[in-house]
């Protein structure tokens, strides 16, 4: 979904620039692509300086994809385009900015502040944060979790089956949930079931009103049916009964309403971290807290605990070790040869 959204946005940006320049967009000439990259590598036009190299590289790929979809020659393969990108990489730098990590120590403080409010929204967000850390899932994947795909094991821990993961061709993946995380999820589901029951009671009261018009009654009845189904789904989950009727019940929409629930997850993480005093962005290559912050933080915690890249790669579902290695690069620098040498020479930190 995000790839399609990015392709649509990049295509619209390229078309708008082409229209202002009076140039043909498809097929685009090599000169058009080179000029487009050069112009936006110098100034994006909104007073905020040039676009990042990563953004320009993504837009080059989008232009190529659009040409391929239209069965047109791909101008981005020309050596001049590659040479322009090489120059932009040198000038702008190729190191992408990553989300500020939220490691376990920070998360525990955030959870304490979040759950202390006692409001249903607080309990919902605490459950969402806890699930995000234990599973290392992306924000778009968190909102696809179905209630029926969360089960409890005999040792008190949980398992969550994510059916929609980036790049897995629909195979899905089981992930682990700690007993504390499962308890937070159950607390939120209990409160949600009570809220649904209360709303259902109010709807039934409205239906009993003598002045309810026929069209209004039909709308109320439809809402009542949906609420009853949702309430049944939650109570079934809490009782660990068979969940065959839960195909359309997912965690994301329960926690995050709106057209883009994945974006809402990032907003929740950012707001809850800020409320606990964690703004993020302390390192030169870090942005603020985002929907990826728990994924980055959990990856760093795994590295600090001594787990190697293969284990980390498996936990986070990365197809290659490139991203987990970059997430832990600053931490691993402290375990490098020079750091170890300094410790032997008596001038390093730690034992």
180: CB partners within 8 A, 6+ apart: 130
Determine the Cα–Cα distance for residues 333 and 351; give it in Å rounded to an integer: 16
CATH number, residue 56: 1.10.150.130
Instruction: Check residue 179 and give its pLDDT.
Output: 92
Residues spanned by the domain of 223:
100-351
CATH number, residue 177: 1.10.443.10
Instruction: Check residue 345 and give its pLDDT.
Output: 79
- 36 and 119, same domain (yes or no): no
- 142 and 35, same domain (yes or no): no
At residue 50, φ and ψ (nearest 5 deg) are -75, 160
- 104 and 246, same domain (yes or no): yes
Q: Provide the number of structural domains found in the chain.
A: 2
- 156 and 290, same domain (yes or no): yes
- 111 and 217, same domain (yes or no): yes
Domain boundary among 92, 118, 143: 92
Instruction: Check residue 199 and give its pLDDT.
Output: 65
- 77 and 130, same domain (yes or no): no
Instruction: Check residue 244 and give its pLDDT.
Output: 26
Tell which residue, 154, 150, 138, has the closest CA to residue 177. Answer: 150
Domain boundary among 44, 60, 92: 92
- 347 and 221, same domain (yes or no): yes
- 306 and 203, same domain (yes or no): yes
- 82 and 203, same domain (yes or no): no
Determine the Cα–Cα distance for residues 303 and 258; give it in Å rounded to an integer: 36
Instruction: Check residue 130 and give its pLDDT.
Output: 93
pLDDT along the chain (351 residues), means of 10: 74 84 81 86 69 84 88 88 85 69 91 86 88 88 78 87 70 86 86 70 61 58 64 47 30 47 79 84 63 87 84 81 75 73 73 52
CA distances from 269 to 39, 84, 223, 276 (A): 35, 38, 30, 11
Instruction: Check residue 252 and give its pLDDT.
Output: 37
| pTM for this predicted structure | 0.68
Instruction: Check residue 203 and give its pLDDT.
Output: 61
Domain boundary among 92, 117, 137: 92
How is residue 313 annotated by DSSP?
Answer: H
- 172 and 63, same domain (yes or no): no
Tell which residue, 120, 40, 107, 100, has the closest CA to residue 289. Answer: 100
């Amino acid at each position: 979904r995000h790839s399609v959204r990015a392709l649509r946005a990049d295509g619209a940006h390229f078309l708008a620039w082409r229209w202002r320049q009076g140039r043909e967009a498809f097929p685009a000439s090599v000169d058009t692509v080179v000029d487009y990259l050069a112009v936006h590598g110098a100034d994006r036009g909104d007073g905020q300086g040039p676009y990042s190299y990563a953004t320009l590289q993504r837009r080059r790929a989008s232009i190529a994809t659009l040409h391929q979809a239209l069965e047109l020659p791909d101008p981005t393969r020309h050596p001049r385009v590659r040479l322009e990108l090489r120059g932009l990489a040198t000038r702008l730098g190729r190191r992408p900015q990553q989300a500020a990590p939220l490691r376990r120590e920070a998360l525990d403080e955030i959870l304490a502040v979040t759950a202390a409010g006692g409001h249903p929204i607080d309990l919902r967000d605490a459950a969402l944060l806890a699930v995000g850390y234990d599973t290392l899932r992306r924000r778009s994947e968190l909102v696809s979790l179905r209630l029926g795909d969360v089960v409890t094991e005999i040792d008190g821990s949980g398992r969550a089956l994510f059916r929609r993961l980036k790049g897995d061709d629909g195979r899905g993946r089981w992930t682990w949930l700690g007993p504390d995380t499962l308890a937070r999820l159950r607390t939120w589901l209990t409160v949600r079931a009570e809220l649904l029951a209360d709303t259902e009671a109010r709807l039934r009261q409205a239906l009993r009103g003598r002045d309810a018009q026929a069209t209004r009654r039909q709308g109320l009845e439809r809402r009542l049916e949906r609420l009853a189904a949702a309430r049944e789904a939650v109570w079934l989950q809490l009782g660990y009964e068979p969940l065959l009727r839960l195909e359309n019940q997912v965690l994301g929409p329960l926690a995050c309403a709106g057209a883009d629930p994945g974006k809402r997850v990032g907003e929740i993480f950012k707001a809850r971290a800020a409320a606990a005093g964690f703004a993020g962005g302390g390192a030169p290559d870090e942005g603020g807290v985002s929907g990826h912050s728990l994924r980055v933080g959990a990856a760093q915690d795994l590295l600090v605990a001594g787990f190697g890249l293969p284990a980390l790669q498996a936990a986070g579902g990365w197809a290659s070790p490139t991203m987990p290695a970059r997430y832990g690069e600053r931490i691993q620098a402290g375990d490098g040869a020079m750091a170890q040498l300094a410790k032997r020479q008596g001038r390093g930190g730690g034992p």
